[in-house]
Amino acid sequence: LTRDNLQTQHLCADVVLSILTAAKTAIKTVSCDDVVNGNINPDTAVYQGYPGGEGINGFDSHTSLSFATLEIALCILVRQIPQINSALMKSKSSAPLHFRKYTRLPSEGCELVKLGVKLLVQIPQLCSPDGSIVVLPTVFYLVLGVLRESSRIDIDSSGDLSTGHVTAGAAAAMMALRELATQVPTTSETFESWSSVIRSSLLSLLNMAEGESRVDRAVV
């Protein structure tokens, strides 16, 4: 997927979004009140679809929808902003080859970044409380990576961006962070772990504002 053209990637992202919509509908149907309260036997219910709640006993990369969605989102984002994949930036000699300025992306590329972020934010909704704690650090890492790169001011550009200007990628990342921060666990057992992930992500966001790179102050 990282080598496909932008149109093919866009089509793939649209298909995944449709699958996620169907999956969330299935979760609501399977976990309806009648099944939960015991009025209907889940084994004999008319509809038995995708139940969600992934990650209770780990993630099976062959059958996990959340794992597959994360993989596709990563491919889409790395194709547009390679430097958010830290593995590509470890080598000092090859890092410049993988660096791509967000401001130089075509409009199709910016749209794909938005779609990639939109996929990421839905992944925890497919997971159990324990499973969401496993995937959240990766989701936050990628969303913050998009925010960092899309708010970075091109040093070759003349002058700063106008006050209040926010790129499409930065806007999508900020909306994703807000949504992720409001998805509070319903179980007290995982709340402390969730709070720790949120605090760590907030610290990363604050460090972003104190870095050497010029960033859009309307964002960070």
Q: Which residue has the higher pLDDT, 97 or 56?
A: 56
pLDDT (0 to 100) of residue 117: 96
Spell out the residues 6+ positions from residue 101 whose beta carbon is closer than 8 angstroms to its own: 152, 154
**Cα–Cα nearest to 53, from 33, 78, 79, 23:** 23
Position 47 in a domain: yes
pLDDT (0 to 100) of residue 93: 53
Position 74 in a domain: yes
Q: Which domain holds residue 64?
A: 6-209
Q: Would you state the structure tokens that stand for residue 152, as one six-digit string?
A: 């970075």
| Per-residue pLDDT tens over the stretch 94-114 | 555 556 787 788 889 999 999
Position 14 in a domain: yes
Domain count, the chain: 1
Position 136 in a domain: yes
Q: Which residue has the higher pLDDT, 157 or 89?
A: 89
Judge contact between 146 and 117, C-beta under 8 A. Answer: yes
Map tokens 């590329």 to a residue. Answer: 109
Position 122 in a domain: yes
Map tokens 């793939």 to a residue. Answer: 12
Map tokens 């720790």 to a residue. Answer: 196
pTM for the structure as a whole:
0.82
Residue type, 188: S
CA distance 135 to 7: 28
CB atoms within 10 A of CB 80: 25
**85 Cα distance to chain centroid:** 13
Report residue 116's pLDDT band, with 50, 70 and 90 as the boundaries.
very high
pLDDT (0 to 100) of residue 150: 87
| Per-residue pLDDT tens over the stretch 155-206 | 654 344 444 567 889 999 999 999 999 999 888 889 999 999 999 999 998 8
Position 215 in a domain: no
